[in-house]
Amino acid sequence: MVKVECPSCFYEFELGGGTIVGELVPCPDCGVDLEITKIEVDKAIVEIAEMTEEDWGE
């Protein structure tokens, strides 16, 4: 199993098998969409997926 820690609420949960980089996974605790950016042996690195197209401010 691959573990993920939500960057928003720090809830830790496990991904199901077959999850791939780039996939969006909702946090079971706070519900934010998380994008898988990297998968390591037993944990995955995620970022909060911005729902507002590609508008990063500025």
8 interacts with Zn ion by CB under 5 A: yes
Task: Give the number of residues in contact with Zn ion, rule: CB under 5 A.
Answer: 7
Which of 4, 27, 44, 46 is the binder for Zn ion (CB under 5 A)? 27
For CA atoms 37, 22, 29, 50, give the dihedral sign: positive
Report the distance separating Cα 8 and Cα 27, nearest Å: 9
4 interacts with Zn ion by CB under 5 A: no
Which of 4, 6, 25, 46 is the binder for Zn ion (CB under 5 A)? 6
12 interacts with Zn ion by CB under 5 A: no
Q: Which two tokens stand for residue 49?
A: 């997926």
